[in-house]
Chains A and B, each alone.
Chain A
Amino acid sequence: MTDIGQELAALLVDEHAAVYAYGLLGARLAVAERRSARAAFEAHRSARDALRSQLRMRRLDAPAAAAAYDVVARSPVEARALAVRVEEQLAVRWCDLVATTDEPALRRLAVQQLQECAVRATLWRQAQGVPPTVPFPGVA
């Protein structure tokens, strides 16, 4: 598999995990925050589908979702912390993709997804009562 293929496949694996995590953590949140979790769940499903399309266009195999992931959220605090981790991890992946591709459409997708992950991470941090922003989202 090419570098870009490996990058897309790794991103898809993480987007599968994000969809699973939001499905789990939403149940631990109050109604207002559950709406945010639902919106994030849908956003990650869209990203997952976009990545599947990218891999299909390149005639590459798309990794399937696992049956379960090793994530825990027993309380609202743990749920928000998990959401922050999910978004931060994906921001790094999308930022890596920006640096891996010169394809305009793919880079545009990566730039947009990086922004969306960063904004969601910020809003979850804000809900946790910790400093909400970081200076270089996606830069490990």
Chain B
Amino acid sequence: MAREQALVDAYTAALQAHPQDAPRLAHLLGDHSAHLARLGPVVGASASPRPPARALSLRALASRERAAAAAHGAAALTASRELASLLASLAACEASHAAVL
């Protein structure tokens, strides 16, 4: 949940910093917002106030996506069956994001 929230924050900041890439970044942000909406009921967490995120380069965003894919993929290996498929799907989405950034 925290990892997805951090990605939402990073994309929100990146949208401001890279207006020329806004359509692409907005689409990827939409994916992460969907992840947050799905994870909320599963992990029972809610968003808390956060300071604005620093705007990252697209390369740094891709690096964050790869790290998130690796973390979610690793978590899927030991999670319950139901949660594992969701985590594996998130990892796949994030690997896809890294491929298009």
Contacts and interface: CB of A to CB of B under 8 A. Distances in A.
A125 to B, nearest CB: 9
Interface size, B (range): 20 to 34
Interface in A84-125: 91, 95-96, 98-102, 104, 107-108, 110-112, 114-115, 117-119, 121-123
Chain A to chain B: the 6 pairs with minimum beta-carbon distance, closest first: A118-B92, A135-B34, A122-B96, A99-B85, A137-B92, A135-B31
B75 to A, nearest CB: 10
Given A98-B85, A108-B77, A136-B38, 7 more contacts: A91-B92, A101-B81, A118-B96, A122-B99, A135-B30, A136-B86, A138-B88
Nearest to A112: B73
Interface string A127-140: 00001111111110
A75 interface: no
A115 B85 contact: no
Interface of B: 27-28, 30-31, 34-35, 38, 69, 73, 76-77, 81-82, 84-86, 88-93, 95-97, 99-100
B77 A115 contact: no
Contact of B82 (A99, A111, A115, A122): A99
Contacts, number: 92
A139 B73 CA distance: 15
B89 A139 contact: yes
A6 interface: no
Contact of B77 (A91, A96, A104): A104
Q: Which of B27, B30, B96, B100 has the most CB of A within 10 A?
A: B96
